């Protein structure tokens, strides 16, 4: 029953591939202008609006005092800059 075995192995590899690709897509979606996006950023939502990142198109991101901050859209960056400490706390508290 070697055929069955290999079919199982191939199915398993396809499954792994799917997981891998899904992870890649997530990272690609958060790629920005040379910022280290997607590297341990704890939030999947905009710190300002709470909307899922990417729900408004390409997520916006900045580096504020060495910390990456992501927004659902560039409009939220303006709100962040009005009260950065509040929003930074949200990111800090979200870390495990
Ligand atoms: Zn927004």
**Residue 3 DSSP label:** H
78 alpha carbon – ligand 1 mean position (Å): 9
Query: pLDDT, tens digit, for every residue of 71-94?
Result: 999 999 999 999 999 999 999 898
> What φ, ψ does residue 68 adopt, rounded to 5°?
-75, 135
81 alpha carbon – ligand 1 mean position (Å): 13
Could you identify the residue written with the tokens 């950023």? 41
Query: pLDDT, tens digit, for every residue of 17-74?
Result: 455 545 444 444 444 444 444 467 899 999 999 999 988 788 999 999 998 999 999 9
Distance CA 11, CA 85 (A): 48
| Stretch (H or E) spanning 61 | strand 60-64
> What φ, ψ does residue 22 adopt, rounded to 5°?
-60, -45
46 alpha carbon – ligand 1 mean position (Å): 7
Q: What count of residues does the chain have? A: 96
Kindly list the domain boundaries of the chain, sorted by start residue: 1-30, 32-96
Q: For residue 47, what pLDDT is reported?
A: 95
pTM: 0.57
């Amino acid at each position: 029953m070697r055929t069955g075995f290999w079919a199982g192995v191939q199915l398993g590899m396809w499954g792994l591939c799917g997981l891998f690709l899904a992870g890649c897509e997530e990272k690609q979606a958060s790629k920005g202008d040379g910022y280290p996006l997607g590297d341990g950023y704890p939030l999947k939502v905009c710190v300002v609006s709470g909307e899922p990142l990417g729900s408004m198109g390409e997520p916006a991101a900045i580096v504020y005092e060495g910390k990456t901050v992501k927004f659902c859209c560039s409009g939220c960056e303006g709100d962040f800059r009005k009260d950065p400490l509040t929003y930074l706390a949200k990111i800090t508290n979200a870390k495990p």
